[in-house]
Each structure stands twice: as C-alpha cells, then as structure tokens.
C-alpha cells in the first residue's frame, strides 16, 4: 500500500513474540508477559484468574485478551486445549484492559489465530508482517464482536497538567508543582497519565520537548547548542542523549537526514 505520492505508508502491525497450542489438564502457575496475550479455548473448561479481578470461567469458544504485565493463572477443570499468541502493540493503539467474549466454532477469529500459531512454528525466519497482519485482523474482529466503550471525557486535571507542561517546554517541571496546578495528588496524576498516554508525566513532557527540538532543528540558522538551550537541556551532551533515546538518532544526524 502506498500514499498518493507513491511513498509506502507506515502501518503499525502487532509484533508477535510467541504463539502455540496447549493441551493438558493441570494448573498453570502465576505468570505475566511484556506483551498482550490472546487466549482461545478450543476444548474443555478452565478458569482464568487475573490479579485483582474475579475469576473468569472459560469454555469452548471463550476468547480472553490479557494486557501486558498482568499476572494471571488458569486452572483446568477438564482436559483443555487452547491456542494462544503473545504480541506487542503500543498502548495508545490498543487499550490495556481485559476483554472476554465467546465466539462461534466457525468464527474466522479462531482460524486466524491457528494460522498465527502455524506461522510461528514454521521453519525458517518467515515474514513478520504475515503474523502481524493476522493479529491486526483478529483485533478488528474483537472490536466488531465486542465494540469498545466510548472514550470517557478527558479529566480536567489531565488537561490542566498537559497545558502547564506545554507552556514549560524549556525545562523540567517538578511533579509536586504539576500536581498542584492540576489540583490532584501526584499519585493520582501519574495514574491519569498512564491511563491516557501510557507513560508518567515526566516521560510525556520529555516527548513534547523532543518534538519541539525536532521543529527547531529544521531551522538551519539555529545551532545545536541553541536548540538544546531552548528545550531546557544544559549542554549538548545531555541533549544528545535524550534526543537519541527518543528518536534513535543524534540531533546532528537527525538534522542531516532532513
């Protein structure tokens, strides 16, 4: 797929970490993954228990989507057969919440998941876009069968904090001062940023400062030292480390590429 000017379009495909099939009767120990886990029960009955949530009974056709780093366990009540896939996708593209639904035996979602498992187990490196495309189709099917709830109104405290950070892109902002502007506790403000941006306030602020630095670097009249100072970094070395951590390139290399 390409854009109107012939350039390839970037597509955010899920990155598959692992996929497989399980057939046994036992008790899977508590564990968590750095990515999402999609679990489909094909035969038998089990109970999926997630940390801090009531147990979820699951049987044939049950599909459970488990968020990253969510500790969970499942108890098999009979001989159980499942298919599963563990994949990564930015939180802003897929909300980190537990989803559970039941699909019919012939639903294409189950067939796509089987194909993901087969691709992962096939010999050779393969093309990661194939599994990523199937996972994207699975997530679209999940939304079709279980439409996401409409987004909640943006909390006023979050909007106040974002506006304050946007006005202070020329340096760091203390967490206590930011929470005071927003009218909430620092802990509550961190929770709001993680829920809406997937990161704490300081990291979100750093991203905005790097975005400002990118805009300034497009002006050849500004030196790297002037850009660093305008974005609140004292010296080229700290600016270079932060910019490279956020973009993968040094400021000079990024400017030359533009």
Q: Which residue has the higher pLDDT, 229 or 52?
A: 229
- In this predicted structure, the answer to whether residue 1 has a pLDDT above a threshold of 50 is no
Residue 234 confidence (pLDDT): 85
**Would you state the pLDDT for residue 257?**
80
| Mean pLDDT over each residue of the chain, to the nearest integer | 88
pLDDT of residue 91: 67
Query: What is the per-residue pLDDT for 9?
Result: 35
Average pLDDT over residues 213-242: 91
Give the pLDDT of residue 8: 37
pLDDT in tens, 61-99: 999 999 998 888 888 989 999 999 999 987 677 888 889
> What pLDDT, on a 0 to 100 scale, did the predictor assign at position 69?
86
pLDDT one-digit tens code per residue, 92-103: 778 888 899 999
Ramachandran assignment for 232, one of left (phi > 0), alpha (psi -120 to 50 degrees), beta (any other):
left
Domain ranges for the chain: 15-145, 156-257
Strands 80-88 and 15-24: antiparallel
- Give SS3 for 70: coil
Buried b (16+ CB within 10 A) or exposed e, 189-216: bbebbbebbebbbbebbbeebbebbbeb
* pTM score of the predicted model: 0.57
Q: What is the pLDDT of residue 40?
A: 97
230 within 8 A of 212, measured Cβ to Cβ: yes
Q: What is the pLDDT of residue 39?
A: 96
The answer to whether residue 249 scores a pLDDT higher than 90 is: no
Residue 248 is predicted with a pLDDT of 84
Best CATH choice for the domain 156-257 from the list 3.40.50.2020, 1.10.10.60, 3.40.50.620, 3.40.50.11540: 1.10.10.60
pLDDT over 70 at 5, yes or no:
no
Do 15-145 and 156-257 have matching folds? Answer: no
Domain 15-145 coded CATH 3.40.50.720: no
């Amino acid at each position: 797929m390409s854009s109107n000017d012939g350039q390839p379009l970037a597509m955010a495909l899920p990155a598959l970490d692992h996929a497989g099939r399980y057939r046994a009767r036992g008790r899977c120990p508590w564990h968590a993954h750095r990515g999402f886990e999609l679990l489909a029960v094909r035969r038998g009955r089990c109970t999926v228990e997630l940390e801090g949530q009531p147990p979820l009974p699951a049987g044939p056709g049950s599909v459970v989507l488990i968020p990253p780093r969510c500790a969970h366990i499942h108890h098999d009540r009979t001989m159980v057969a499942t298919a599963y896939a563990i994949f990564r996708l930015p939180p802003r593209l897929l909300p980190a919440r537990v989803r559970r639904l039941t699909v019919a035996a012939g639903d294409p979602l189950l067939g796509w998941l089987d194909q993901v498992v087969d691709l992962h187990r096939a010999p050779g490196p393969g093309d990661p876009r194939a599994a990523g495309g199937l996972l994207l189709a699975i997530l679209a099917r999940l939304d079709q069968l279980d439409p996401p709830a409409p987004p909640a109104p943006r909390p006023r405290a979050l909007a106040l904090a974002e506006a304050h950070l946007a006005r202070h892109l020329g340096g760091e902002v203390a967490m206590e001062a930011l929470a005071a502007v927003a009218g909430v506790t620092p802990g509550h403000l961190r929770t709001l940023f993680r829920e809406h941006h997937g990161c704490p306030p300081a990291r979100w602020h750093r991203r905005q400062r790097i975005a400002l630095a990118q805009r300034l670097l497009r002006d050849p009249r500004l030196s790297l030292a002037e850009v660093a100072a305008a974005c609140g970094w004292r010296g080229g070395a700290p600016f270079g480390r932060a910019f490279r951590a956020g973009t993968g390139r040094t400021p000079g290399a990024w400017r030359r590429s533009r």
